[in-house]
Amino acid sequence: MSAAAYIELSGVKKTWNAQGRLTTALAGIDLVIEKGAFVSIVGPSGCGKSTLLQIMAGLVPSSDGLVRLHGQPVREPPRDMIYVFQQYTRSLFPWKNVQRNVAYGLESRGGLSAADIAERTAQTIAKVKLQGFENHYPWQLSGGMQQRVAIARALACAPDVLLMDEPFSSVDALTRVGLQQLLLDLWQSLGLTVIFVTHDVDEAIYLSTRVVALSRPPAHVGLDLTIALDHPRDAILTREHVHYLDYRHRLLAQLFADEGIASGAVHS
Ligand SMILES: Nc1ncnc2c1ncn2[C@@H]1O[C@H](COP(=O)(O)OP(=O)(O)OP(=O)(O)O)[C@@H](O)[C@H]1O
Ligand SMILES: [Mg+2]
């Protein structure tokens, strides 16, 4: 393990077998991720982004290769890593109010008193700015608020690593910017390591310290960019920064070339 390795993927391959049909989603992924990084994974639909995230989370076994979290092989979901699903409507319990939904993760882990759970739940609800909505049910909240409940449920368990699969794809553009800002604030204040899957190149660059583009399946790492833009980011100025535009150009050139889409991009 190299000195900076916190999460390390070596030769991670995945072949799915669905009704006897074999699909190799991941050809062999090598990645070394530092603690505290915000890494986005982009790539064409069906290239294996969700598969890769589920393997990192210990939810799905790889066909070959290994994931390590601070040196330990990941073979089941580690306690300090939490997976946030894309569909908050599916991950929240409609029959539990906000307080019960957020407390659920803590209750199912065990080892905490009811008073501790209540205190941590209240603190986490405050972190995602949902005070006053504790007694609301998910269906009484907007989509953006429901996604904040899902984030709060993950954060209540005080994870070191958040794995997020297109978490903001079903909310409107303005709500999405608000959620991005909230996530960046939480990432910085809590010192999280975030692995974030998105199909949106702009979202990836705006949020991340690094963007990894997967190729068409069987996927390999097509481009691995360090995003040298200062945090905290500015919702307008960061997106107009000359480096931002250069990263955007390079990522779109990679993705479009991979898809066979003609463009005037200059390859570098
Ligand atoms: N549980 C599964 N069983 C069989 N095949 C699967 C399973 N999950 C994914 N696959 C296959 O693996 C490939 C990669 O799928 P995956 O969902 O990881 O892609 P993705 O990059 O997340 O796509 P999208 O951007 O559309 O979400 C696809 O060909 C898909 O059909
Ligand atoms: Mg997916």
Ligand 1 midpoint to CA 13 (Å): 13
Q: Please check the confidence at residue 1 and state whether its pLDDT lies above 60.
A: no
3-state secondary structure of 6: coil
Q: Per residue in 109-158, pLDDT tens?
A: 888 999 999 999 999 999 999 999 999 999 999 989 999 999 999 999 89
Which residue from 15, 16, 55 has its CB within 8 A of the most atoms of ligand 1, so it is best to mutate? 16
Average pLDDT, the chain: 93
Handedness of CA 247, 166, 13, 61 (dihedral sign): positive
pLDDT number for residue 267: 66
Neighbours of 50 (CB within 10 A): 17
- Position in ligand 1 atom list of the atom nearest CA 53: 18
Domain-wise residue ranges, the chain: 1-80+161-226, 87-158
In Å, how far are 38, 95, 220 from 193, measured between CA atoms?
6, 31, 22
Please state which CATH class domain 1-80+161-226 belongs to.
alpha beta
- Position in ligand 1 atom list of the atom nearest CA 14: 12
Q: Please check the confidence at residue 266 and state whether its pLDDT lies above 90.
A: no
Q: Per residue in 19-53, pLDDT tens?
A: 999 999 999 999 999 999 999 999 999 999 999 99
Q: In terms of DSSP H, where are the helices of the chain?
A: 49-56, 88-91, 98-109, 114-127, 143-156, 173-190, 201-207, 237-240, 242-259
Instruction: Kindly list the protein residues whose Cβ atom lies closer than 6 A to any atom of ligand 1.
Output: 16, 18, 23, 25, 43, 45-51, 199, 217
pLDDT number for residue 258: 87
Residue type, 53: L
pLDDT number for residue 225: 98
Q: Per residue in 205-243, pLDDT tens?
A: 999 999 999 999 899 999 999 999 999 999 999 999 999
Q: Please check the confidence at residue 89 and state whether its pLDDT lies above 80.
A: no
Question: Distance between CA atoms of 179 and 235, rounded to whole angstroms?
Answer: 12
